[in-house]
Amino acid sequence: ITREKINQLTVEAYENAKSKGFHDREEEPEERIALLHSEISEALEDFRKHKMALEIMESGKPIGFPSEIADIAIRLFDLFGKHNQNFNLLALNGEYGIDRGYFSNRSIPWWIYDFHHSLQSSLDTFREERYNFYCLDVLLCKLLLFCEIYDIDLEKAIEVKMRFNSTRPYMH
């Protein structure tokens, strides 16, 4: 996924969430981070249940591990969109701590743990300014690298999930 596509999806995710009523009230940063943690945990549950393929239910709802990984990205996109932030994806070029060799042989549970850790760091390091968008940017970079290593078509999963989300009712 290109940076331009990610920033386009950021606007789309935020606008959809806003149109569905998810920004009608101000949320504490801890609530937003907790929601992201829940998406990460849902991905772990699908991994543990061996639901590794992206499937579409009769209702049109996407399910499976790639769908849950897409939910993590979509929540990040929505958070960035709400705060008028763009993803820089600087960590992908290797200068800022993402060493592909170090990450390439890690297990899926290790990655899930690392996603949780990166997410918590975003809140712990920037309490005064509400979010540490650099840490959240790094989390997305790790998510992209994870999908590359495990051959998950994140762009497709995001598009399928966002298409479904656009059909959902207000405050579902």
Q: Which amino acid is at 98?
A: I
Q: What is the DSSP letter of 56?
A: E
CA distance 155 to 73: 10
Quickly state the pLDDT bin for 99 (edges 50, 70, 90): confident
**What is the overall mean pLDDT for the chain?**
89
Report pLDDT for 86. 87
* Region 26-44 average pLDDT: 91
Could you tell me the pTM of the whole model? 0.92
CA 170 to chain centre: 21
| DSSP one-letter code for 28 | -
